[in-house]
Amino acid sequence: MSQPLVYVDTSTVREGALAELKEAIRELAEFVEENEPRLISYSVYFSHDEREMSVVHVHADAASLDHHMDVAGPRFGRFADLVTLRSIQVYGDPSERALDQLRDKARLLGAGEVVLYAPHAGFSRR
């Protein structure tokens, strides 16, 4: 049985972009909820001072992340003037195609790197 994947990205909010970013990310979250039924969780967090944003999603498996990148990926360009992406961390075993798409996302939205954490021990209850 395949293991879930956890995705975390962290971005700096660009000066003066907070209100537009909050609306854009709310719309993206609604789109993801409506179009990605296999996605277990999709959450957006802002730091206390609202200078940083993190997006966390949990996928049932690698195919769910592939689907997310195909469906939501074309919408990421809207964020290019709103954030500077600092990092993408993926916990699990994503496909090479998803990793390539995530590297493209990192280049589009900032200069951050994609860091992969391979599973070692643990369990998942679904």
pLDDT tens per residue, range 24-79: 999 999 999 999 999 999 999 999 999 999 999 999 999 999 999 999 999 999 99
pTM: 0.93
Q: Give the domain range for residue 82.
A: 5-117
Which pLDDT belongs to residue 114? 96
1 contact partners, CB below 8 Å, separation of at least 6: none
Question: 99 is written with which tokens?
Answer: 């990793």
Asked if 98 and 70 touch (Cβ cutoff 8 Å), the reply is no
Identify whether 123 is part of a domain.
Answer: no
Strand partners, 58: 6, 41
Supply the mean pLDDT for the chain: 95
Identify whether 88 is part of a domain.
Answer: yes
Residue 21 above 70 pLDDT?
yes
Which pLDDT belongs to residue 1? 53
> Dmax over Cα atoms in the chain, in whole Å?
46
What percent of the chain is modeled with pLDDT above 90? Answer: 92
What is the count of structural domains for the chain?
1
Identify whether 91 is part of a domain.
Answer: yes
What is the separation of C-alpha 6 from the centre of its chain, rounded to a whole number of angstroms? Answer: 9
123 contact partners, CB below 8 Å, separation of at least 6: none
In this predicted model, which residue has the larger pLDDT, 18 or 122?
18
Residue 97 above 90 pLDDT?
yes
Q: Where do runs of H (alpha helix) occur along 1-126?
A: 18-35, 62-72, 96-109
Identify whether 126 is part of a domain.
Answer: no
